[in-house]
Chains A and B, each alone.
Chain A
Amino acid sequence: MAVSLSLEQAPPFAAPLRFFLTAPLFGMAAGLLVVVSGDEIFASRWTPAALALTHLVTVGFMLQVMIGALFQLLPVATGATMPRPLSIARFVHAALATGALLLAAAFLTHAALLFALAATALGASVLVFVAAAGWALSRIDTATASVRDIRRALFALTLTLALGLALAAGLAGVLELPLLQLVDIHLAWGLAGWGGLLLAGIAYIVVPMFQLTPAYPAWFERSYSLAALAFLLAWSALELAGRHPLAQLFAAATALGAGTLAAITLWLQTQSKRAKLDTTQQCWRFAMAVTIGGCVLWLLASALLRLGEARPQWMIESAAWSQFVDGSNWTLLFGVLILAGGFMTAINGMLYKIVPFLVWLHARNAARRVKAVPNMRQVLGEPLMLRQARAHFLACALLALAALWPSHFALLAGLALFVAQALLLANLLKATTVYRRYLQEPLA
């Protein structure tokens, strides 16, 4: 019976931890890239540096933590246990980190060989992970909304990867493809599909239970992931069939759905019974508010683009507005809001619960020491976490300003991102040091 074993729960600490400690290094690399490239990086979403930056954040930081967290969460929250989690984690992590670096290098140099190597490494990493997670999930018979949405998110991740591999082949000159259309479909499946559905599946558990809020409305839990998948499928199919106006309708539905997820989450969080807003909760609220802003921006800008000449006269006459809507600025701002403000912030906040708790759990389960097991606040104090979170909020604000006025803010934004990520790494390392020191205490 799989379940009796699955409740034996947690994989070795080293399985998820390697992902958590690597992610801030990619965040720091992203900050450095902004510093080095300067305002050039925000000239358009298509510059080599902007594409490299996007993938340092999405693959190097976001995917890294998401996969690491699933190594921990699948067995504990759903009862799905992977075979040999540590061996699989070692391989998935090594291939993912290597692949993310190679991909960033490929964008910066445009070398076909680097695209091929990056595609091989990332393909191997994601496919091995999806296969292991899918196998584990196929053996459990509990069908909670979370399990269902994690399964759907894994499907979206696989599709994102497939589109990414096709794009890499296109950029390497191996395949003739409609690259621009495929890029939008690739990013929609990555962000709204994989990222959005995973966030939803995890939020159904962690928001009500850890922040002591009411549960998500039943209608929402029942319908969100299916609706999001249906919108994404319809959008992709219509876009590829050349039915752009109709495709835009489903793209708008996707954005509206993601905004609704963020709005409901924020609304639930305002009803939290916890007396104090800790760092994690502040991160969640910031992330949800910024995500709502990002979705509203997308809907407004897309509507204005569709209106074309039918826009209000004052808007057409204003050079700044025309440049914002018709140029690259709004897409860059959207990217900053969703990636740095939304996903990175929520992930940052989650790490501050996951890592200190795992330190406590693994210390508690080790052989008894003379000293008491350090509690979560002793592992990592609230002031250190809050200081880092504020640095991250500042970095997000500066990145948003840099998307609008690159020449004034790009350098500052890059520095702020680097510092915030370095502080995150320092905090996580401090937590693991507490663990190592505890294990060196004399046995009781």
Chain B
Amino acid sequence: MATASIRDFMAGDHRHCDDLFAAVEAALAKGGADALTAAQVAFEAFRAAMEAHFGAEETQLFPAFEQATGMSSGPTAVMRGEHEQMRELMSAAAAALAAGEPDDYAGEAETLLILMQQHNVKEESILYPMCDRQIPAAAALVAGLGKTLGGGAQ
């Protein structure tokens, strides 16, 4: 994947997280006695992928961007803030599943999905292209991100 741009690679990981999000809804929709347990398992896989993505951005991509541009309170600060909002919603969603309340889960998940997607739009159409333009040795960074995120992004 040495030739992938930061944008393409990270957008691919967004789609991977989307798939895992959909898997939770699918598990719940299936119904049956163990639907809730299956949804909890699926949700933990989703949450782990989200945390891995946030981690890769917060410890690798954003510092590289901040170093290259000198902007530490700019777009990356906003993105970090939104990561926090998504972490809160994921906690609330996990709590709803643990309490056996699929309706509450649906409400938290819907909110999370919209927040997550408008966050993704901003990253994919604004921030990642800026990263591709401004970070020197972007290819090496993509390789590093690939190691952190594993094969999920492909």
The size of the chain B interface, using a CB distance under 8 A, is 37
Would you call B29 and A210 a contact (CB within 8 A)? no
* Per-residue contact bits, chain A 172-192, to B (CB 8 Å; 1 contact, 0 not): 000000000000000000000
* Per-residue contact bits, chain A 201-238, to B (CB 8 Å; 1 contact, 0 not): 00001000110100000000000000000000000000
* Per-residue contact bits, chain B 116-134, to A (CB 8 Å; 1 contact, 0 not): 0110111001110110000
Please measure, in the bound complex, the distance between the C-alpha atom of A89 and the C-alpha atom of B109, giving whole angstroms: 31
- Shortest Cβ gap from B71 to chain A (Å): 6
Would you call A78 and B22 a contact (CB within 8 A)? no
Q: Is A369 an interface residue (CB 8 A)?
A: no
In the assembled complex, which residues on chain A have CB atoms less than 8 Å from the CB atom of B118?
Answer: 76-77
Interface-facing stretch out of A2-10, A120-128, A288-296: A2-10
Would you call A276 and B25 a contact (CB within 8 A)? yes
* Per-residue contact bits, chain A 1-25, to B (CB 8 Å; 1 contact, 0 not): 1011011110000000000000000
Would you call B26 and A275 a contact (CB within 8 A)? yes
* Per-residue contact bits, chain A 391-422, to B (CB 8 Å; 1 contact, 0 not): 00000000000000000000000000000000
Interface-facing stretch out of B51-59, B100-108, B136-144: B100-108
Would you call A209 and B117 a contact (CB within 8 A)? yes
* Per-residue contact bits, chain A 330-362, to B (CB 8 Å; 1 contact, 0 not): 000000000000000000000001000100110
Please measure, in the bound complex, the distance between the C-alpha atom of A365 and the C-alpha atom of B35, giving whole angstroms: 34
In the assembled complex, which residues on chain B have CB atoms less than 8 Å from the CB atom of A376?
Answer: 107, 110-111, 114
In the assembled complex, which residues on chain B have CB atoms less than 8 Å from the CB atom of A278?
Answer: 110
Q: Is B113 an interface residue (CB 8 A)?
A: yes
Would you call B126 and A79 a contact (CB within 8 A)? yes
Q: Is B37 an interface residue (CB 8 A)?
A: no
Please measure, in the bound complex, the distance between the C-alpha atom of A70 and the C-alpha atom of B127, giving whole angstroms: 21
Interface members, chain A 20-56 (any B CB < 8 Å) = none
Please measure, in the bound complex, the distance between the C-alpha atom of A3 and the C-alpha atom of B126, giving whole angstroms: 8
In the assembled complex, which residues on chain A have CB atoms less than 8 Å from the CB atom of B130?
Answer: 3
Known contacts A7-B74, A375-B108, A377-B110; is-contact A79 B22 (Cβ 8 Å)? no
Would you call B18 and A212 a contact (CB within 8 A)? yes
In the assembled complex, which residues on chain B have CB atoms less than 8 Å from the CB atom of A209?
Answer: 117, 120-121
Q: Is A144 an interface residue (CB 8 A)?
A: yes
Would you call B78 and A8 a contact (CB within 8 A)? yes
- State which of B29, B103, B115 has its C-beta within 8 Å of the C-beta of A377: B103
Would you call A9 and B110 a contact (CB within 8 A)? no
- Shortest Cβ gap from B118 to chain A (Å): 6
Please measure, in the bound complex, the distance between the C-alpha atom of A378 and the C-alpha atom of B92, giving whole angstroms: 13
Please measure, in the bound complex, the distance between the C-alpha atom of A205 and the C-alpha atom of B19, giving whole angstroms: 17
Would you call B85 and A273 a contact (CB within 8 A)? no
In the assembled complex, which residues on chain A have CB atoms less than 8 Å from the CB atom of B122?
Answer: 7, 9, 76-77, 79
Known contacts A3-B126, A79-B122; is-contact A210 B19 (Cβ 8 Å)? no
In the complex, the chain B residue whose C-beta lies closest to that of A79 is: B126
Would you call A273 and B126 a contact (CB within 8 A)? no
In the assembled complex, which residues on chain A have CB atoms less than 8 Å from the CB atom of B63?
Answer: none
In the assembled complex, which residues on chain B have CB atoms less than 8 Å from the CB atom of A360?
Answer: 111
In the assembled complex, which residues on chain B have CB atoms less than 8 Å from the CB atom of A212?
Answer: 18, 21-22
Q: Is B10 an interface residue (CB 8 A)?
A: no
In the assembled complex, which residues on chain A have CB atoms less than 8 Å from the CB atom of B125?
Answer: 77-79, 142, 144, 146-147
Interface members, chain A 108-145 (any B CB < 8 Å) = 142, 144
- Shortest Cβ gap from A144 to chain B (Å): 5
In the assembled complex, which residues on chain A have CB atoms less than 8 Å from the CB atom of B106?
Answer: 377, 382
* Per-residue contact bits, chain A 271-282, to B (CB 8 Å; 1 contact, 0 not): 001111010000
- Shortest Cβ gap from A200 to chain B (Å): 16
* Per-residue contact bits, chain A 368-391, to B (CB 8 Å; 1 contact, 0 not): 000010011110001000000000
Interface members, chain A 59-87 (any B CB < 8 Å) = 76-79
Please measure, in the bound complex, the distance between the C-alpha atom of A6 and the C-alpha atom of B71, giving whole angstroms: 14
Please measure, in the bound complex, the distance between the C-alpha atom of A324 and the C-alpha atom of B88, giving whole angstroms: 58
Q: Is A90 an interface residue (CB 8 A)?
A: no
- State which of B22, B85, B111, B117 has its C-beta within 8 Å of the C-beta of A274: B22
- For this complex, 8 residue pairs linking A to B, each with C-beta atoms less than 8 Å apart, are A9-B122, A77-B118, A209-B120, A212-B21, A273-B22, A360-B111, A361-B115, A376-B111
B residues at A contact (CB < 8 Å)? 18-19, 21-22, 25-26, 28-29, 71, 73-75, 78-79, 85, 89, 92, 103-104, 106-108, 110-111, 113-115, 117-118, 120-122, 125-127, 129-130
